[in-house]
């Protein structure tokens, strides 16, 4: 039997042994988790997707003019590629690279994109955004537009977010740009409803991470013994998602075990909410000081174009 642990296994076990325990949100996105997230984006309570779409639609001509003729479009966290599809129709790139951690889900989406855009060179890249992104060597280095929609930058703590933005800055050289979606601070009731919907879809999404972890490390989590918790932490300006133990339990995996007391939590995700001026400052520190910001009428969400 191979007793050598993979980097994913080591990361998960290390997180589970912490107090409080953690699981990285990147492990949400197996095939089922990716599909559940797509369901979340269609919920009435989940405003980010439709608000971002409205901003992009209303300001499409100006966005296209400011972006210019981009040779290459690179979407991070591509998911089902629907947002990239609209952007491809708008700016007509020669190359498109879809980057996502869920490889199976990604390849299905890219196959559909190739049917829609037969004249665009379309590639799929399975990658973890917490590490360096190794783009295909054949990709032109000039006129790259990195597209990072959906406010996923909020899943990173601010120092990690700055590090990712700095890596993006390196990808686009001096003549490229970043087009990014950012969720803004707003009424707590709106935020809490978006991450704890009455239909229970977000709860299912959160609980599914335990099934994914079971497959990855051979653990024996029972999702029936855990419940979804989500709330806005005003002091840190972030939504927090946790899984809370319904009863005392001992969880085993191939190389160890840990007990959880009733009410103990595993922290699974943060989603930071920014003020526009704070996010612009973060971009500046990452080497992207030239910015153009578009928001919706309620100032709930922002789409930002940033350049070196």
Query: In percent, how much of the chain has pLDDT > 70?
Result: 99
- Read off the DSSP letter of residue 278: H
Q: pLDDT-based confidence at 1, cuts 50/70/90?
A: very low
pLDDT higher than 50, residue 28: yes
Question: Which pLDDT belongs to residue 154?
Answer: 97
Contact 75, 83 (CB under 8 A): yes
Interval 43-53 mean pLDDT? 96
What are the pLDDT digits (tens) for 202-252? 999 999 999 999 999 999 999 999 999 999 999 999 999 999 999 999 999
DSSP E strand stretches across the chain: 21-22, 72-76, 95-100, 121-126, 144-148, 177-183, 226-233, 238-245, 249-253, 256-260, 265-272, 290-295, 301-307
What are the pLDDT digits (tens) for 114-172? 999 999 999 999 998 988 889 998 899 999 999 999 999 999 999 999 999 999 999 99
Question: Which pLDDT belongs to residue 71?
Answer: 87
Kind of pairing, strands 301-307 and 290-295?
antiparallel
Question: Which pLDDT belongs to residue 2?
Answer: 60
Q: pLDDT-based confidence at 176, cuts 50/70/90?
A: very high
Task: Give the other-Cβ count within 10 Å of 234's Cβ.
Answer: 11
Edge-to-edge strands of the sheet including 144-148?
121-126, 95-100, 72-76, 144-148, 177-183, 301-307, 290-295
Of the candidates 273, 283, 209, which has an alpha carbon nearest to the alpha carbon of residue 51? 273
The model's pTM is 0.92
Contact 116, 85 (CB under 8 A): yes
Question: Which pLDDT belongs to residue 3?
Answer: 73
Least confident residue range of 7-11, 129-133, 171-175: 129-133
Q: CATH for 47-186+274-307?
A: 3.40.50.150
Q: pLDDT-based confidence at 255, cuts 50/70/90?
A: confident
Pairwise pLDDT comparison (3 vs 270), residue with the higher score: 270
Interval 264-271 mean pLDDT? 98
What are the pLDDT digits (tens) for 51-66? 999 999 999 999 999 9
DSSP E strand stretches across 106-166: 121-126, 144-148
d(CA 290, CA 76): 21
Of the candidates 113, 116, 119, which has an alpha carbon nearest to the alpha carbon of residue 99? 113
Interval 194-203 mean pLDDT? 97
Of the candidates 79, 68, 274, which has an alpha carbon nearest to the alpha carbon of residue 158? 274
Instruction: Please state the domain extents for the chain.
Output: 7-25+189-272, 47-186+274-307
pLDDT higher than 70, residue 273: yes
Contact 96, 121 (CB under 8 A): yes
């Amino acid at each position: 039997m191979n007793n050598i642990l993979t980097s994913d296994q080591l990361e998960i076990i290390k997180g589970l042994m912490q107090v409080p325990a953690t699981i990285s949100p990147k492990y949400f996105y197996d095939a089922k988790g990716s599909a559940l997230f797509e369901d979340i984006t269609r919920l009435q309570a989940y405003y980010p997707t439709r608000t971002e779409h409205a901003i992009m639609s209303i300001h499409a001509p100006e966005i296209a003019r400011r972006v210019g003729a981009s040779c290459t479009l690179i979407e991070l966290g591509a998911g089902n590629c629907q947002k990239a599809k609209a952007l491809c129709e708008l700016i007509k790139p020669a190359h498109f690279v879809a980057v996502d951690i869920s490889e199976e889900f990604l390849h299905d989406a890219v196959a559909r994109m190739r049917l829609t855009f037969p004249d665009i060179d379309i590639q799929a890249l399975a990658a973890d955004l917490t590490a360096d992104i190794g783009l295909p060597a054949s990709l032109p280095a000039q006129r790259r537009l990195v597209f990072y929609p959906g406010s996923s930058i909020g899943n990173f703590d601010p120092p990690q977010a700055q590090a990712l933005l700095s890596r993006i800055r390196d990808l686009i050289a001096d003549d490229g740009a970043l087009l990014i979606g950012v969720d803004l601070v707003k009424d707590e009731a709106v935020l809490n409803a978006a991450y704890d919907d009455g239909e229970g879809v977000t709860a299912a999404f959160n609980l599914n991470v335990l099934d994914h972890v079971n497959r990855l490390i051979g653990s024996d989590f029972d999702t029936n013994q855990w419940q979804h918790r989500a709330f806005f932490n005003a002091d840190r300006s972030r939504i927090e998602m946790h899984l809370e133990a319904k009863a005392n339990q001992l969880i085993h995996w191939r190389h160890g075990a840990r007990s959880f007391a009733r009410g103990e939590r595993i922290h699974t995700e943060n989603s930071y909410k920014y003020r526009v001026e704070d996010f612009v400052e973060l971009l500046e520190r990452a080497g992207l000081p030239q910015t153009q910001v578009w928001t919706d009428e309620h100032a709930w969400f922002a789409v930002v174009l940033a350049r070196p």
